[in-house]
Chains A and B, each alone.
Chain A
């Protein structure tokens, strides 16, 4: 559970970052990206990605459209919005500030 909570807090940040860097992705694509890039460290129940995606969408940070994959299936592609980029910037800064603060404490303790 602890691992999942850690991910849940940072999941929106990861999603925004991936979408900002990799362009439009569907849910499964995002899940595999997170999986490979974080060495399975942050692996959780993959389905929890979807409520997070939909919340970001409702908040206007990402937008979605339906498209057809090479295999001819309908997939929902997500894309970051301008508001999303701004949010990503400030979230990233805050995250870095927190981690460096926590890092300092851990080093000095």
Chain B
């Protein structure tokens, strides 16, 4: 017996054997009792009964075969037969499995990412009752904000009591920490400040130690404790339980301090944080956050989450909170600048407060990638249809070749359902093999795609393990592929006339029309994939060519670390001293420094400009050292750049970019105007004078330049040194690593990057879309070509006799080729029409992601069409040539 039947016997035989034994035993015992009742001694009765019954084992085996075999037999035979048939056509089978597994792998990978990032609910208690608060900003670049300040949170929390239990969780930041066993090395971990009751509200339990409680919220800075995530505990400490009670040092760059925090617990393994894709490593009580954040209405730094009480509607909770929010805003409005317009004040007060579902967690990553991922999933689905059509065509062609065998089977009494089963089992074999291979493809592809979702500084991490959702999806996919693409060939096969094929000398009862339907489908979907992929690739190409306003080549970005804890003032002074010394390093042209990388997200600041209608304006703020504009090669269009004198604290000079000048001053020159605001704690009250206007730079290449205020570095701390090199940047790195500590032993060079890849990282979403959709478009194109080639080759073989007759009757080679191609011409035209229509429809969904590319532009339409036409011509060339070379003598003797 084969492997399969042994396997199923093992599964089923236990029960079958037991029942058979019981039945036979009953018979024997009844017989013995009957004999005993007739007066036969028991021993003799046993012997007689046994003799009359025969060997029980033999009957049991026979019955067992009766019961188990029919159940297995046909299936087993079909599987064996199918596997043999598929092995015989090893190349075709491999091609089918390979293309299908690629497509299935893409679908499974897309699903696993979509599921992990977009669909899966948070692993908290009753995620559907979890909400977070947002309010509209009126800023088109960021229409809704979900960050709040401490006093607003405290007041909202009090107002919501009884309806919704609010708690705070800060935005997540990668912060450098030093662990006791790290040899003083700084490691970057993802940190989050949370209010003491957050874990309790979320319904998270501790895997070890304790979690935070309300007692950790008593006073700012009072509770120097931390909780690590289970994953981080495993990854960094190998699950060592002795870390509880140990302390590590955390550098808070904004607050410019270092503090020791004691690890008191590990969170439950299933809880990875509230932001899918960005799992938290370390949680801290929010009272350990920046001291300036407490009691300060201007310092927005955390999200407000809430668990809506049972029996309370979300709308109810929302209206209660909105009322409190309006009260707060009414109070705050009284403090706005005296010349603020009444409309602006009314708008400010009327700002609504929304409660959004946090069932699967608020995620900027999701906001950024939801649409691209759905688009990629859709494209993967289209490629699957193309690959599936290829498999269907393969089976149709094979069915045609096996017509005689099928016909014979039907003639000698095989039922049509048996023939359908036979063909379906073959496609199921392919589907199962392709799904298994596809899971491997997905296991490799999904993590690769995940790394494309984020920068190496703040990596995305998704839980992509094979869970029941993914298994179910793969199984359904395999079933669909079998059903969709196996059923047509199977029905065709069962439709073979029993006797016809046996009689007909090469006359086929089966027309290749079904093949042509699939050609049309493939061309339509292939064109759609090409069209959308083409748009996305073009868009990325355009975007890559956008001038960011500075020169990114040969620009090094060094993050500096201090080897000991120093006062922020001393550190800044030391840095400003080091910068000129670095210029002496061979190959260095200009050296400057900034708090952020050139394209890093600067912080924004809210302020008022005296003498204008701008009651409340928001602008990016960027602290820089002298020579910054020289290093970045950004021209100064008016006024002057910063000099060393501007770095003295309280000097009060600022530089703005052109976008700022135009937006807030219009035609009036910005130079010499003042900004009345405090940018940090150690600012003087003195107004800031605009001493220069710099040309625009873009930190988001997709958008018009945003307003920026450049501050002298003296007013904030820094960690980034910019080096403009005269030689390719890479060669300078070792020299700079040596030069910086020797200039001042306080500093050490941490991470070094060249600016060019940093620019690329801001286009993550576009690059992901362009590279994957481009890849899918290429795969789709290849599959369409293969499909067309297969169909034409098959029809040439099928029509060899016809071609022979045509040639014998004097048709030229051109005529033969024409006759061959005419058959696929109509489906091709139909496919192209449907494909273009579908492509234009799909382009509506990608439109918002396109940059300066128009779907309706002639070039956008022509490119995929031309590519497909080229591929189709190449694919048709070989079979057409073969048809043209048919020798009538050979062809007519054929069969």
Q: Which residues of A contact B (CB under 8 A)?
A: 26-28, 31-32, 43, 45-48, 50-51, 53-55, 58, 73-76
Contact = CB atoms under 8 A, between A and B. Distances in A.
Given A27-B23, A50-B24, 11 more contacts: A26-B26, A28-B27, A46-B54, A47-B27, A47-B55, A50-B23, A50-B59, A51-B59, A54-B66, A75-B23, A75-B26
Most B-side CB within 10 Å, residue of A27, A46, A47: A47
Contact of A28 (B30, B59, B63, B67): B30
Most A-side CB within 10 Å, residue of B20, B54, B55: B54
Contacts of B63: 50-51, 53-54
14 contacts: A28-B27, A28-B31, A32-B34, A45-B52, A45-B53, A45-B54, A47-B53, A47-B55, A47-B58, A48-B54, A50-B60, A51-B59, A51-B66, A74-B22
B67 A58 contact: yes
Most A-side CB within 10 Å, residue of B19, B54, B56, B66: B66
Q: What are the 5 tightest A-B residue pairs by CB atom distance, in nearest-first order?
A: A45-B54, A51-B62, A47-B59, A47-B54, A28-B30
A27 B27 contact: yes
A105 B63 CA distance: 38
A75 B25 CA distance: 10
B24 A47 contact: yes
B66 to A, nearest CB: 4
Given A51-B62, A58-B70, A46 B26 contact: no
A57 to B, nearest CB: 8
Nearest to A26: B26
Nearest to B25: A73
A50 B70 CA distance: 17
Interface of B: 19-20, 22-24, 26-27, 29-31, 34, 52-56, 58-60, 62-63, 66-67, 70
B66 A46 contact: no
Most B-side CB within 10 Å, residue of A26, A54, A74, A76: A54
A34 to B, nearest CB: 12
Contacts of A75: 23, 26
Most A-side CB within 10 Å, residue of B22, B23, B34, B53: B23
Contacts, number: 59
Contacts of A76: 19, 22-23, 26
A50 B883 CA distance: 64
Contacts of A32: 34
B23 to A, nearest CB: 5
B27 A55 contact: no
Contacts of A31: 27
Nearest to B23: A76
Contacts of A48: 54, 59
Contacts of B27: 27-28, 31, 46-47, 50
A73 B33 CA distance: 13
A27 B31 CA distance: 11
A61 B366 CA distance: 61
A68 to B, nearest CB: 11
Nearest to B61: A51
Nearest to A44: B54
Contacts of B59: 47-48, 50-51
A26 to B, nearest CB: 7
A55 to B, nearest CB: 5
A55 B52 contact: no
B25 to A, nearest CB: 9
Given A54-B63, A54-B67, A58-B66, A46 B53 contact: yes
B736 to A, nearest CB: 84
A43 to B, nearest CB: 8
Nearest to B56: A47
